[in-house]
Each structure stands twice: as C-alpha cells, then as structure tokens.
C-alpha cells in the first residue's frame, strides 16, 4: 500500500470510530433517560443498554487506535505533527483512560459525558483541523517529539478526565444542597468518591506533566538554542503547572476539599485547553504547528 | 480592644511568618501564574522586537504607557521578579526549617501510641497477641516505638524526603537559570556561504553578554560555511530539511574538521553551542560607475518576508558621488498576479529575480544613527531607475550599471553559552524524582494497644493514599493465624 492509501484507511477508520462513539452516545443517553423515567423500578434494561454502550465505546476506541496508527504509517512518523493528529490521539488517550479506570472504579455513569466530549473532539478534528498527511518541518524532526508530545497528550487526556469528574462533583453537590439527588443522580458515586477520584487523577498525572515540560525544555535547547523562552505555549504550560501545583498544595497541605478544590482544578484544566486552542490557532510563538 | 504594637524584631518575625505561611505561598503561586499571562498576550522585546516596534508605531501613547508597566518585558519586570523572589523566599523559609526538623525526625522513633485509638481510621478490636503484631510490623520494616502495652509504627519516611527534594531542586533550577543570565552569552551572526565566522565580538550582528561574561575569553573557534541545502515539499511548500555543511576549527592552529549542522543538531564547543536558526538568500551583484570601474561587488544578505522567501534588501554604494542606493526585493521563484504584483511562489531558486529601484543622494551612513542594513532612508534621495533582473543580466542607469551575477544562501547562526543549563537540568530531574516520591509513597502510622488478650488496632494514612486498610487487614489476619 502506498502512503496515500494508508492515509485513506486512517481517515475511514476515524470516521468509523466517530460513528461508533455516536452509537455509544445514544445508548448511554437511552440508559440515562430510561433510568430517570423508570424511577428506579426496573433497571435491567437500562443496565443492559449501558453495557452495550460500553461495548460500542470499546469498539470505537479500537477503531481510533487503528486510525491513529495508520495515520502514523502514512506519514512514516509518530502521528503528532499537527493539531488534527494531536486531537485524534488526545481523544484516544481520553477514551483509554476512561476504559482502564472504568475497570477499577464503577464509572459506567461517566460514559455519557465522556462520549459527548470525544464526539466533540473528533468532530472538530475532522471538520476544522483536518490536514493531509505530510512530513514534519525540520524543527519537529527529533526523537523528543515522541517523548514530549506523548507525555503532553496523556497528561491532557487525564486532566480532561479529572475535570469531567470534578464537574460531575459540582453538579451533584449543587443538587444535594438544594435537596435530594434525582433518580438518575442516585446511581452516581458519592461526592466523597468523586472528590477523591478527581484528586487522584491529578496527583497521578502531575509528575507526567512536569516531565512533559522538562522534555520540551530539553528539546527546545537542542532546536532553538534555549530551554526556556517564555514562548506563549511555554508560558501557558507553566501556568497550567503552577495552578495544578497550587491545587495539590491546597489539598495536601491546606486541607482544601470538595467544592473549592473542584473549582481550582477546573480553572487549571481550562488553562490547558486554552493553551491548546488559543495558542495553536491564534497564538504567535514557535509552537504554531496546527497547519491552519 | 488595643492592637498589640508591632515593631522591631517582632514586626520582622510577624512578616516572616506571614510570608512563609502556606496560605500566602499559595497566593503567591497563583499570582505568579496570573502575572505570566500578559507576556503571552503582548509581544515581548526578547522574542519579537519587531512586533513591539509596530505597537510603538501604530499607537505611541498607548505603547508608552504599556512600556511603563513593563508589558513588553513582563518576565524581566520588577513586579514579575518581585513575585517569584517572594515565592522563593517563602519556599526557602518553609523548606529549610522543615528539612532541619525532618533530619531530626528521620533518626527519631515515632511518638508513642495515643491512649485512645477510636478516632483513627480502620479502628478494630480482635483477640490476638501484641508481640506477634510487632514481629509482623518489624518484618514489614516499620519503624517501631514499643511500650509495654502499645505499639506505634510508622513507614514511608521517603515521602517527606521526596517532598523536600522536590522543593530544594526548584531552588537549584532557579540558581541555574540565574547563573546562565549572569555568566552566559548569546549572539547572532549572518554568515553567507563561503564566508568564515570567527568567534570574536566583532563578528556578531548582535551580541548579548551576561553581566559577568568575559568577552575576551570567548572560545576561539572558527566556522566556515561551505554549503547550505534546504529541501521543501513541492505541494505544501513547507521545509523538509535544512542542512549546513561546515568546516570547523576549535582554535586557530587546529585542523579544520567537516561537520554538519541541522535544526536539531547544533555544534558544540565546551558549554558554547552554535545553532542553525534561519536562512535566506544573498544576491551577488557588481556595481560599476560610468567609466566601468567596480564600486561594489559581493553578496548582500536579504531579509526573508514570507515562507516562500520573498526577501527585501538594500545595496548601498557610498563610494560613488553622489551616493547610490538600490532598494531591492528578491524572489527565488518569481511569479506575478493582479493583486500582489511580483511575488515568490516557491522558496527554492527556480526562477530567481532581483527587482531594484535605483536611488541617488545621501545614504546618511555617517549620520551616527544606526541604520538597518536591509533598508535605505530615501527621504533625501531621488529615484533614477527601476528594473527587474534575472541572473546574468545587467541594468545601466544614468551614472553607472548593476549586474546580477547569481545567488548564494546565508544562514543565521545563533551562538549560546549557557553555563547554568546543566544545573537547571539536574534540578529538574531531581524535582521529578522528588515529586514521584512525595506523591506515590504512602506515609502511614499503625497504632496497636493491648488490653489483656484483646488487641485494638487503628491507622493513620498521613498523605491519604489508599492501601492502609489492606495493610491492617493483613496484620490482623497474620495475628489470628
């Protein structure tokens, strides 16, 4: 197969995965809506559709893995050279993080918000960010691409997951303060578990994010002659780091919990997103590889 | 109610305690994040001086006020420095006493078990033997304080070590960055193919030495730029590879060695490195006066304006009287359309054209005001000719002629001495090691009290990581075997 054949295969796989995630999304919605309507009476069919949804979610993830790999094959390099490739890989790590954690904790309830987010990411990638498969510009031709970008993508996926959990926390917290949880919300974990989970995800991935920044600095030293230059992307990576560092201190040392901590983690996570969207598309600096 | 008067040492002590309190450290941390934002929104002098100049040109008043608040030099501004210096003072004030405390604690035994255990986690009672429990704890390498009827056991001291290592490493990183800016240097030079770069201050187009950098002690290397090869994608026109072939001598007497420089592959001379940063074209021209005498000859570096390397430049001939200047643009692959006029459609030399307008008058090169080598101030000059030239063509104007002989590429070499970067790197590596230890090592205590043949056990997960429940379960199971 030629390079462009592989590129077509990759595109098809990404479409298949988008479609499968859409099916999973409808099933999750059905399970959720049914759970609310039946008022907790008969849950067997909702549980079943929840399980089927997770199966579709897994198939979607598998198609996405293959889509990302074939994209890399078509370009003869790791598929992290522009925003389209970064987005599909980011959606993939997000989906994998959910599936892996879902085996450990009971997170089936998270399927709905997560499949919405994945559909949004993939949809934006396909419609707005798509660029034909192409070789890398000289500054990106480095082994550090693999290390630095992989660490950044995985960090992003886990930060996003932690933020999804924190948002759920805030939503349920508000509901509980107003009165009782709705029938659907009763099936979700307790506030305490959500609070802990959101924190554990950050604590797990913060060293990796630190590593992503340091690997980037080592690479920048080799490519641009300085390891830190306050390039907009570097600055915002630093801000994300600072905010998550503050979050960890606030939790571990100052004893923050619950609502305050959840808001701080949402703020920190949104700086990552801002960095990705704003700096790549409208920013100036040297990190503008979106190809847009 | 009268407020206690704060003065002298008590005031200092009060301020110190404020500064090193966790709450204020958190505020400083958040402030540092907030303070870095403007630097990403406005152009910074150190990165894009040209964009800063545009601000001054388009709205001088606003720009002047922005400049007063250091919005073009955010990361060197007094307010930014104030925040991070306070933060690091706070960090030192927090970590150093803690290290001292920790050093004492790391050889001490845990405090004896408290009288009442019910308020701790996973409290339970069972029938068992306290000595058996102690043996299990020792086997699992807990540090133990045994009293007759109680045990206090602790494990996971490395977490605190990691925590301190992380914070101390950050100080090392900061010192490294500081050392670089004081003892280091960075400079840039444009070198046309065939030229030789000798590492002395006068070779540089711009040079920024640190305060304690000794200009007389620059490493005496020379770099001869032999050949520059740039490959571009035919469809996207994006660069695929830049490669500079050089002959390098470490010192004037050593044999030149052939070396290749690429974007991710700089040259290294001790702790000085040379990077390939930018490239462009230098048209080769010969300017003659009316009698045919050569008044100027050689390559003139032009400044690229876009990805297709449309370039602008100036050829100045001060030796003619009146003086002659050529305001020129160079197109490596000339194309033309209605809107843009002449432009370049590809960065390689497929159809090179030199477009010149000839100006006669005062070049103002002796006015003392530094001038751009790429531009001519034509205010006091008169235009006497206009022409587009392909390679080999000549153009005669009233007082002379110009011949376009060919094109050679130039590269921009960036020379950097960064003596602190090693420290910054070591600091970062230790910081990550410390971070991993402080986030993933479980520090926990297990308390045991015996009361006849009844045993009470409870625990305390000092950094709230899960796993203690399991451990206590195993302890109990072992005791009941």
With bands split at pLDDT 50, 70 and 90, how would you rate the model's confidence at A37? Answer: low
Percent pLDDT > 90 in chain A is 47
Which chain B residues touch A212 with a CB distance below 8 Å? none
Whether residues A138 and B74 touch (CB distance < 8 A) is answered with: no
pLDDT top residue among A271 and B110 = A271
The label of the residue with tokens 């701080």 reads: A264
A65-123 per-position pLDDT tens digit: 999 999 999 888 888 888 899 999 999 999 998 898 887 777 777 888 899 999 999 99
Helix intervals (H) in B46-117: 49-58, 60-68, 78-107
Q: Which of A76, A220, A225 to mutate to test the interface with B (most CBs of B within 10 A)?
A: A225
Closest CA to A86 of A100, A97, A74, A72: A72
3-state secondary structure B292-314: CCEEEEEECCCEECCCCCCEEEE
pLDDT of residue B221: 94
pLDDT of residue B1: 42
Peptide bond just before A221 cis, omega within 30 deg: no
Residue A48: pLDDT above 80? no
Percent pLDDT > 70 in chain B is 98
Sign for the CA dihedral angle at A31, A36, A40, A41 comes to negative
Q: How far apart are CA A193 and CA A191, in angstroms?
A: 6
Residue B3: pLDDT above 70? no
Searching chain B, which residue's CA lies closest to the CA of residue A292?
B236
Whether residues A214 and B428 touch (CB distance < 8 A) is answered with: yes
Tokens representing residue B180 in the block = 């670089």
What mean pLDDT value characterizes chain A?
Answer: 86
Displacement of CA B108 from its chain's centroid (Å): 43
Judged by DSSP in three states, B124 sits in strand
Q: How far apart are CA B481 and CA A247, in angstroms?
A: 44
B299-331 per-position pLDDT tens digit: 999 999 888 999 999 999 988 888 999 999 999
Pairing assessment for the beta strands B353-361 and B381-390 based on DSSP bridges? antiparallel
Q: How far apart are CA B281 and CA B344, in angstroms?
A: 13
Which residues fall within 8 angstroms of residue B33, CB to CB, at 6 or more apart? Answer: A238, A239, A242, A243, A246, A271
Residue A218: pLDDT above 90? yes
Q: Closest partner residue to B29 among A139, A206, A245, by Cβ?
A: A245
Instruction: Report in angstroms the alpha-carbon separations of A52 from A30, A46, A47, A192, B473.
Output: 11, 10, 9, 28, 37
Q: For A217, how many CA atoms within 13 A lie in the half-sphere containing its CB?
A: 24
Residue pair B438/B162 in contact (Cβ under 8 Å)? The answer is yes
pLDDT of residue A36: 59
Measured in angstroms, the CA of A106 and the nearest CA of chain B are apart by 17
B222-234 per-position pLDDT tens digit: 999 999 999 998 8
Measured in angstroms, the CA of B236 and the nearest CA of chain A are apart by 8
The ipTM is 0.85
Q: What are phi and psi of B196, to 5 degrees?
A: -120, 130
Q: How far apart are CA B282 and CA B226, in angstroms?
A: 14
Residue pair B406/B400 in contact (Cβ under 8 Å)? The answer is no
Average the pLDDT over each of A6-10, A277-281, B205-209, B223-227 and give the range with the smallest value: A277-281
Average the pLDDT over each of B25-29, B110-114, B362-366, B393-397 and give the range with the smallest value: B362-366
Whether residues A239 and B277 touch (CB distance < 8 A) is answered with: no
Q: How far apart are CA B26 and CA B35, in angstroms?
A: 14
Interface of B with A in 235-294 (CB under 8 A): 236, 238-242, 262-266, 273, 275, 277
Residue A283: pLDDT above 80? no
Instruction: Report in angstroms the alpha-carbon separations of B408 from B40, B87, B320.
Output: 37, 52, 25
Interface of B with A in 59-78 (CB under 8 A): 74-75
Q: For B145, how many CA atoms within 13 A lie in the half-sphere containing its CB?
A: 13
Residue B14: pLDDT above 90? no
Searching chain B, which residue's CA lies closest to the CA of residue A208?
B432
Pairing assessment for the beta strands B341-344 and B353-361 based on DSSP bridges? unpaired
Peptide bond just before A36 cis, omega within 30 deg: no
Q: Which of A208, A242, A286 to mutate to test the interface with B (most CBs of B within 10 A)?
A: A242
Q: How far apart are CA B299 and CA B295, in angstroms?
A: 14
Residue pair B393/B403 in contact (Cβ under 8 Å)? The answer is yes
Q: Closest partner residue to B414 among A225, A232, A249, by Cβ?
A: A225
Mean predicted confidence (pLDDT) in A191-212:
92
Does residue B177 belong to the interface with chain A, where contact is any CB pair within 8 Å?
A: yes
Which residues fall within 8 angstroms of residue A50, CB to CB, at 6 or more apart? Answer: A27, A28, A31, A108, A111
Residue A40: pLDDT above 50? no
Mean predicted confidence (pLDDT) in A46-56:
80
pLDDT of residue B2: 47
Measured in angstroms, the CA of A229 and the nearest CA of chain B are apart by 8
Judged by DSSP in three states, B146 sits in strand
B154-172 per-position pLDDT tens digit: 998 888 889 899 999 999 9
With bands split at pLDDT 50, 70 and 90, how would you rate the model's confidence at A41? Answer: very low
Q: How far apart are CA A206 and CA A194, in angstroms?
A: 18
Q: Which of B29, B33, B233, B414 to mutate to test the interface with A (most CBs of A within 10 A)?
A: B33
Which chain B residues touch A223 with a CB distance below 8 Å? 263-264, 275
Interface of A with B in 120-159 (CB under 8 A): 134-135, 137-139, 141-142
Residue A289: pLDDT above 70? no
Residue pair B163/B438 in contact (Cβ under 8 Å)? The answer is yes
Residue pair A161/A201 in contact (Cβ under 8 Å)? The answer is yes
Does residue B433 belong to the interface with chain A, where contact is any CB pair within 8 Å?
A: no
Q: Closest partner residue to B463 among A235, A249, A252, by Cβ?
A: A252
B216-274 per-position pLDDT tens digit: 889 999 999 999 999 998 888 888 899 999 999 998 888 999 999 998 899 999 889 99
Helix axes of A3-37 and A111-124: crossing angle, nearest 10 degrees: 150
Mean predicted confidence (pLDDT) in A178-198:
84
Q: Closest partner residue to A246 among B30, B266, B435, by Cβ?
A: B30
Which residues fall within 8 angstroms of residue B209, CB to CB, at 6 or more apart? Answer: B185, B187, B215
pLDDT of residue A49: 73
Residue A213: pLDDT above 90? yes
Does residue A270 belong to the interface with chain B, where contact is any CB pair within 8 Å?
A: no
What mean pLDDT value characterizes chain B?
Answer: 89
Q: Closest partner residue to B241 among A138, A222, A279, by Cβ?
A: A138
Q: What are phi and psi of B224, to 5 degrees?
A: -100, 120
The label of the residue with tokens 């109610």 reads: B1
Interface of B with A in 40-59 (CB under 8 A): 40, 43-44, 46-48, 51
B414-436 per-position pLDDT tens digit: 999 999 999 999 999 999 999 99
Neighbours of B11 (CB within 10 A): 11
B466-477 per-position pLDDT tens digit: 788 889 999 888
Which chain A residues touch B75 with a CB distance below 8 Å? 230
Q: How far apart are CA B403 and CA B8, in angstroms?
A: 80
pLDDT top residue among A56 and B379 = A56
Q: Is B467 left (phi over 0), alpha (psi -120 to 50) or beta?
A: left
Instruction: Report in angstroms the alpha-carbon separations of B396 from B291, B357, B358, B386, B404.
Output: 12, 12, 10, 10, 12
Q: Output the pTM of the full model.
A: 0.87
């Amino acid at each position: 197969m030629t390079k462009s054949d592989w590129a077509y295969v990759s595109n098809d796989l990404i479409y298949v995965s988008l479609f499968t995630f859409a099916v999973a999304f409808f099933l999750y919605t059905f399970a959720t809506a049914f759970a609310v309507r039946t008022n907790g009476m008969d849950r067997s069919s909702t549980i079943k559709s929840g399980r089927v949804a997770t199966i579709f979610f897994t198939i979607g993830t598998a198609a996405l893995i293959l889509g990302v790999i074939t994209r890399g094959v078509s370009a003869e390099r790791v598929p992290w050279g522009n925003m389209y490739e970064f987005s599909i890989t980011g959606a993939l790590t997000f989906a994998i993080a959910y599936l892996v954690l879902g085996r450990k904790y009971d997170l089936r309830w998270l399927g709905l918000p997560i499949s919405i987010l994945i559909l949004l990411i993939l949809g934006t990638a396909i419609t707005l960010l798509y660029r034909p498969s192409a070789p890398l510009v000289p500054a990106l031709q480095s082994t550090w691409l693999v290390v630095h970008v992989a660490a950044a993508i995985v960090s992003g996926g886990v930060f996003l997951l932690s933020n999804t959990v924190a948002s759920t926390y805030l939503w349920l917290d508000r509901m509980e303060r107003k009165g009782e949880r709705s029938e659907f919300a009763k099936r979700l974990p307790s506030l305490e578990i959500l609070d802990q989970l959101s924190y554990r995800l950050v604590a797990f991935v913060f060293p990796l994010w630190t590593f992503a920044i340091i690997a980037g600095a080592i690479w920048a030293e080799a490519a641009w002659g300085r390891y830190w230059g306050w390039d907009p992307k570097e600055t915002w990576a630093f801000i994300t780091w600072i905010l998550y560092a503050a979050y960890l201190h606030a939790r571990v040392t100052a004893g923050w919990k619950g609502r305050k901590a959840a808001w701080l983690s949402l703020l920190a996570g949104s700086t990552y997103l801002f960095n990705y969207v704003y700096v790549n598309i409208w920013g100036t600096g040297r990190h503008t590889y979106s190809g847009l | 109610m009268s407020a206690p008067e704060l003065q002298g040492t008590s005031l200092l002590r009060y301020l110190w305690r404020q500064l090193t309190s966790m709450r204020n450290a958190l505020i400083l941390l958040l402030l540092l994040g907030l303070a870095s934002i403007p630097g990403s929104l406005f152009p910074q002098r150190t990165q894009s001086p040209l964009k800063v100049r545009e601000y001054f040109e388009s709205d001088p008043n606003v720009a002047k006020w922005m400049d007063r608040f250091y919005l073009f030099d955010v990361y060197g501004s007094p307010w930014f420095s104030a925040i991070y210096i306070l933060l690091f003072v706070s960090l030192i004030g927090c970590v150093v006493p803690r290290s001292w405390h920790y050093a004492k604690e790391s050889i001490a035994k845990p405090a004896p078990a408290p009288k009442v255990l019910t308020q701790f986690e996973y409290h339970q009672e069972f029938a068992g033997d306290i000595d058996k429990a102690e043996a299990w704890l020792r086997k699992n390498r807990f540090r133990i304080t045994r009293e007759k009827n109680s045990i206090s056991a602790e494990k996971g001291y490395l977490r605190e070590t990691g925590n301190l290592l992380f914070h101390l490493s950050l100080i090392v990183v900061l010192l490294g960055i500081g050392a670089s800016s004081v003892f280091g240097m960075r400079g840039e030079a444009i070198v046309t193919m065939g030229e030789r770069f000798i590492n002395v201050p006068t070779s540089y187009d711009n040079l920024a030495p640190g305060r304690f950098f000794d200009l007389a002690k620059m490493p005496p290397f020379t770099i001869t730029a032999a050949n520059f090869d740039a490959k571009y994608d035919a469809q996207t026109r994006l660069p695929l590879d830049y490669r500079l072939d050089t002959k390098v001598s470490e010192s004037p007497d050593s044999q030149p060695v052939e070396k290749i420089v690429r974007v991710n592959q700089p040259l290294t001379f001790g702790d000085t490195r040379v990077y390939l940063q930018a490239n462009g074209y230098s048209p080769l021209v010969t300017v003659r006066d009316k009698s045919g005498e050569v008044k100027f000859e050689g390559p003139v570096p032009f400044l690229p304006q876009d990805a297709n390397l449309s370039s602008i430049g100036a050829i100045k001939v001060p030796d003619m009287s009146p003086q002659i200047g050529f305001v020129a643009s160079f197109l490596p692959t000339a194309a033309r359309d209605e809107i843009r006029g002449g432009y370049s459609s590809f960065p390689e030399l497929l159809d090179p054209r030199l477009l010149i307008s000839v100006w006669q008058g005062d070049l103002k090169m002796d006015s003392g005001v530094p001038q751009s080598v790429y531009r001519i101030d034509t205010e006091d000059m008169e235009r006497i000719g206009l022409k587009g030239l392909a390679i080999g063509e000549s153009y005669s104007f009233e007082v002379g002629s110009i011949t376009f002989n060919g094109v050679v590429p130039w590269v921009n070499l960036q020379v950097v001495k960064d003596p602190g970067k090693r420290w910054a790197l070591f600091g970062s590596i230790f910081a990550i090691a410390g971070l991993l230890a402080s986030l993933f090592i479980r520090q926990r205590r297990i308390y045991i009290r015996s009361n006849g043949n009844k045993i009470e056990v409870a625990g305390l997960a000092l950094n709230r990581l899960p796993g203690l429940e399991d451990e206590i379960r195993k302890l109990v199971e072992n005791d009941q075997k």
